[in-house]
Amino acid sequence: MKKAQICELLYKKELAEGIFDFRIKSGEMADVAKCGQFLHIDCGDGTLLRRPISICDVYDDVVRFVFEVKGKGTKALAQKKVGDTLDVLGPLGHGFDINDDYQSPVIVGGGIGIFPLYQLSKLVNNPAVYLGFRSANRVVMEDEFKSVAENTQIATDDGSYGFKGYAAELLKKHLDEKPCDIIYSCGPMPMLRAVKKIAEDYGAKCQLSLEQRMGCGIGACLVCSCETKREGTEKYAKVCKDGPVFWADEVTLND
Ligand SMILES: Cc1cc2nc3c(=O)[nH]c(=O)nc-3n(C[C@H](O)[C@H](O)[C@H](O)COP(=O)(O)OP(=O)(O)OC[C@H]3O[C@@H](n4cnc5c(N)ncnc54)[C@H](O)[C@@H]3O)c2cc1C
């Protein structure tokens, strides 16, 4: 059973309106964290449940996470100041399958789903990275991704920056022209459905990180259940414990 840790907030920066880069002194978490795992954070201000936030990067004894303010929890978290402490449970869940056999990985992210893909982009061999945002003023971490993955391309839904359209369209274009031995993806459900379908059509291996609403974060409640192709009592997996990363052909992404 994992114990919560009290971690000092070492660094805080607002990358775009309502999107915050936090770095915490993590003690032993930094030594054991696997790429794609998440933290379950007590945001304070009377929020009963912890909020799950992906690990964006790890260095020295520092864990970095980036989050967008959505509601009560993330709003309270955003009020924290450097020097304050955070009550953090983690690292939790199963991360990405990173394997030296993969020579031409493609990474596809959208919105808040891009954050766990930064560390992944550093760890895999020469990835092509396609990142989707709503519009130019929501684009963050572009230079950082480009510094670790020179084949990084940005898409915006409204065409105000980069490619006009969805990151999944760039994936399809890539698969028409170039090799790919694995696709990794994280982002909103419609994007994950599109990526899963493209992977099936092209016969590509694919891992998806599901950022589903969550309760306990440790597999004790059923809030984050997702349907899988398994039979019987194993049919429903818990995103917090069995995921958040799943093989695409394992899960059913219902509407
Ligand atoms: C494994 C995992 C990793 C995540 N990693 C990140 C991350 O790195 N950065 C980040 O910004 N967010 C991440 N999220 C989403 C984040 O947990 C939610 O945005 C947060 O819990 C919302 O809490 P709140 O109290 O601010 O909002 P609430 O008041 O709980 O909700 C406000 C709004 O946010 C929506 N919302 C709540 N949960 C989610 C969710 N999981 N996904 C999308 N919308 C949601 C609600 O439907 C509502 O519209 C992750 C979620 C999971 C499950």
User: Looking at the predicted structure, is the pLDDT value of residue 247 above 90?
Assistant: yes
The whole-angstrom separation of Cα 113 and Cα 96 is 14
- 223 and 125 belong to one structural domain: yes
Q: What is the average pLDDT value for the chain, to the nearest integer?
A: 92
Q: Is 67 in the pocket of ligand 1 (CB under 6 A)?
A: yes
Mean pLDDT of the 152-163 span? 97
Query: What is the average pLDDT across 46-73?
Result: 94
Its pTM stands at 0.93
Mean pLDDT of 22-37: 92
Contact 252, 239 (CB under 8 A): no
Residue nearest to atom 35 of ligand 1 (CA): 70
CA–centroid distance, 22 to ligand 1, in Å, is 16
Residues contacting 246, CB < 8 A, separation 6+: 207, 208, 209, 210, 226, 228, 237
Atom 21, ligand 1: which residue's CA is nearest?
Answer: 51
Structurally, the chain folds into a number of domains equal to 2
The pLDDT tens digits of the residues spanning 181-230 come to 999 999 999 999 999 999 999 999 999 999 877 777 777 777 777 888 77
- Residues 86 and 111 occupy one common structural domain: no
Report residue 239's pLDDT band, with 50, 70 and 90 as the boundaries: confident
Closest CA to 4 of 88, 78, 70, 117: 88
Percent of the chain with pLDDT over 90: 77
Distance CA 182, CA 94 (A): 17
Phi, then psi, of 212 in degrees rounded to 5: -85, 155
Give the CATH number of the domain where residue 170 resides. 3.40.50.80
Residue nearest to ligand 1 atom 20, measured at CA? 51
The answer on 175 and 88 residing in a single domain is: no
CB of 160 closer than 6 A to ligand 1? Answer: no
Distance 70 CA to ligand 1 centre (A): 7
Confidence band (pLDDT; 50, 70, 90) for 165?
A: very high
* Nearest alpha carbon to residue 121 among 153, 169, 163: 153
What is the rounded average pLDDT of the residues 53-65? 96
Of 45, 67, 92, which residue sits at a domain end? 92
54: Cβ below 6 Å to ligand 1?
yes
Confidence at residue 1, expressed as pLDDT on a 0 to 100 scale: 58
Judge if the beta carbon of residue 77 lies within 6 A of ligand 1: no
* Residue at token pair 């509601």: 71
Task: From the CA of 68, give the closest atom in ligand 1.
Answer: 11
Assess if residue 99 is contained within a domain.
Answer: no
Q: What is the CATH number of the domain that holds 72?
A: 2.40.30.10
- What's the mean pLDDT in 172-177? 96
Does 57 share its domain with 178? Answer: no
Residues near 195 by beta carbon (within 8 Å), at least 6 away in sequence: 108, 168, 171, 183, 185, 206, 208, 248
Q: What is the DSSP letter of 47?
A: -
